[in-house]
Amino acid sequence: MFNTTTATATINPSEFTSDYMSAGINDNVYLKEVNVKKSPTGKDFLEIVFENENGQTASLSEWKNEKGLYTKTDDDLQKADNAQFGRMMQIINCFYETIEDTTLNSFADMINWVSSKLSPMIAIKKALRLKVVYDKKGYTTISRNGIFVEPMTVEETQIKKFARDLFERPVQADNEANADPLAGNSTQGSESTSSNPFANEGSKDELPF
C-alpha cells in the first residue's frame, strides 16, 4: 500500500557517483587486475581491469576469435588474432620499453603470456590515460578503436575520438510487451537478453555505467 507524506519525503543533495568510469578519455588511471578466467562453459578468456583515483573501474575482456559472420576465412581469423594481440601490446608497451620476440601458438598461451607481463606491473601504480566508450547496449567498456591507452607522461596525447566511438549513452526504448499496467501477467520492461554475463560469451565485456 502506497503511503508517504510531505513530512517523510527525502531529497539527496549529493551527486550520484557510479562505480564505473565515465565515457571519454580518462586521466590518471591505473592497472588494477589481470585475470585469466574460464567461463561456465569452459572457454578461456582474459580480463584486464583499470581503476581511477576515485575507485571507478573499466575493463577489457578478450575471448578466442572464431570463424563466424564476419570472420569467414583463415586469413580473416589471422587478422582478428593480430588485432587482438595488438591491443594487448598497447597495454604492455605502457610498461616496457622493449619486449623480447615471442611466438605464441594458442589463445591460452597468449593470455597467460600477457598476464605474466602485466601482473607484476600492477604494484608500480603507473598513471595511464584510457579511452572509455559505450557499447551499443549502453554499457561502458574500453574502446577497441585506434590507440586507447598511453602513459600520462605522453604530453601530446595520441588517443583520438573516432566516429565509431560512442561517448553518449545510446537511448533504447523500453520493451513493453504488455502496455496494460493492470494485466495479471504483465511483462512490461522485461529484458530480452539473459542476465547471465556469460550468455553471449566472446561478444562483450560489458559494465554498467
Q: What is the pLDDT of residues 153-179, one digit of tens each?
A: 999 999 999 999 999 998 765 554 444
C-alpha–C-alpha distance, residues 21 and 54, integer Å: 9
How far, in Å, are 184, 187, 190, 195, 202 from residue 178 at the CA level? 10, 6, 10, 21, 32
> Which pLDDT tens digit goes with each residue over 32-52?
999 999 999 999 999 999 999
Q: What is the pLDDT of residues 94-140, one digit of tens each?
A: 999 999 999 999 999 999 999 999 999 999 999 999 999 999 999 99
Cα diameter, the chain = 70
Between CA 197 and CA 207 the distance in angstroms is 10
pLDDT exceeds 60 at position 21: yes
pLDDT attached to residue 134:
95
117: Cβ contacts below 8 Å, ≥ 6 apart: 92, 95, 96, 99
Which three cell numbers, joined as nine digits, stand for 127?
Answer: 598513471
- 159 contacts 148 by C-beta, under 8 angstroms: yes
Burial class (CB in 10 A: 0-12, 13-18, 19+), 81: middle
pTM: 0.75
CA 207/CA 50 separation, integer angstroms: 12
Name the region of 113 (left: φ>0; alpha: ψ -120 to 50; beta: rest): alpha
Q: What pLDDT, on a 0 to 100 scale, did the predictor assign at position 16?
A: 55
Spell out the residues 6+ positions from residue 166 whose beta carbon is closer than 8 angstroms to its own: 23, 133, 134, 135, 136
